Amino acid sequence: MKPSIRPDLESLAPYRAPQPEAPVRLNTNECPYPLPEGFANDLAETARGIGLNRYPDREATALRKGLADHAGHPFDGVWAANGSNEVLEQLLLAYGGPGRRVALFTPTYVMHAQLARVCLTEVVTEPLDEAFRLTERHAEHVRRERPELVIVCSPNNPTGNAQDPDAVAAVCEAAPGLVVVDEAYAEFGGASAVSLLPRLDNLAVVRTFSKAFSMAGARLGYVLTSPEIVEDLQRVRLPYHLSSLTQAAGEVALRHVAEAAELLDAIRAQRDRIVQALTAMDGVRPYPTDANFVLFHPGRPADEVWQGLLDRGVLIRDFSTLAGTEGCLRVTAGTPEETDAFLRALTEVLA
Ligand code: PMP
């Protein structure tokens, strides 16, 4: 006999982007480069010295001190977890829950709604404007709806554009509760909401090591917010949630920020090259982006273009059935060779 799942989860599909085998994988917005050599050697050396027989530091003190220095933010307002997804889940566990609501501005990162659902939090959505921007209208929406939680994504996934910090500040001022800004892609461009932190005590800015730090496999994310909010997150986190290996990986990464940053320029150059090339293609419309990916309308049925690219060994992501990005595809900026392969395959498919 199969045990019965929570009835409200019966219709919930697991979050799973299609992952067919392909030599060129431009579908999940990772960094295309392995860790720089000095960084990898330091990590290996550091890992050898970890006493794995003991539980990790529950408070991840050394890592959080490093993050505080890196971000120029007070230590007791920094918290870390297994990827920014776990940080977001902890925020929803602490501030969502039965009878409470979270406001999302769509189209956006679909995990926000999925995490809300798992955390029994009702979702209220309001579309972004026609250029996927957050505006005064969204602050009005929040003032009217009074959700306990608001999540803004900037740069927004899958659209790519960063939101104006003034619009984010207006949402914070309108909100009766917590405003989370998911900045998973902030290192690639666009203005950050971090500069608003000193004057807004209901703001939490979530970041990750998965993208700009080349460490998607390490699963490390963090939040910059107020000490009171960090205390609330400590109520819902599992004991020893962040392994010694993960904490050490983050500490090592912070010693190699400059090397990781060198890769950012290369990735931005490929992103800009993709936008330029797509703009020049007949009928293809790329959207402006501050992230390491480009959303575009291929001017043909998206599923056919997606399949045509896959047949040529290039895997990208189909967003054509998401409300607000109908007909669109999203491609991650990879290495120059990967961009070559993508543009060559797309030219063939559209020919
Ligand atoms: N936020 C956004 C907007 C993302 O696109 C992603 C990754 N797809 C995440 C958060 C989660 O990243 P991670 O858990 O690897 O930090």
pLDDT tens column, 332-344: 999 999 999 999 9
Amino acid 336: pLDDT: 98
Give per-residue pLDDT as tens, 159-202.
999 999 999 999 999 999 999 999 999 999 999 999 999 999 99
**Distant-in-sequence contacts of 32-35, Cβ < 8 A, 24+ apart:** 32/267, 32/332, 32/333, 32/334, 32/335, 32/338, 33/214, 33/263, 33/266, 33/335, 34/214, 35/214, 35/215
Give per-residue pLDDT as tens, 114-126.
999 999 999 999 9
The residues that bridge with 204 in the sheet, in sequence order, are 180
Instruction: Give distance in angstroms: CA of 184 to centre of ligand 1.
Output: 6
Pocket test for ligand 1, best of 89, 210, 223 (most atoms within 8 A of CB): 210
Nearest residue (by CA) to ligand 1, atom 5, is: 157
Q: Which atom of ligand 1 is nearest to the CA of 29?
A: 8
Which residue ranges have their beta carbon within 6 Å of ligand 1? Answer: 29, 83-85, 109, 153, 157, 182, 184, 208, 210, 216, 221
The model's confidence at residue 260, banded by pLDDT at 50, 70 and 90, is confident
Pocket test for ligand 1, best of 27, 87, 111 (most atoms within 8 A of CB): 111
Amino acid 15: pLDDT: 86
Instruction: Give distance in angstroms: CA of 183 to centre of ligand 1.
Output: 9
The model's confidence at residue 281, banded by pLDDT at 50, 70 and 90, is very high
39 pLDDT more than 80 = yes
The model's confidence at residue 317, banded by pLDDT at 50, 70 and 90, is very high
Nearest residue (by CA) to ligand 1, atom 1, is: 184
CB 79 within 8 A of CB 225: yes
Amino acid 18: pLDDT: 78
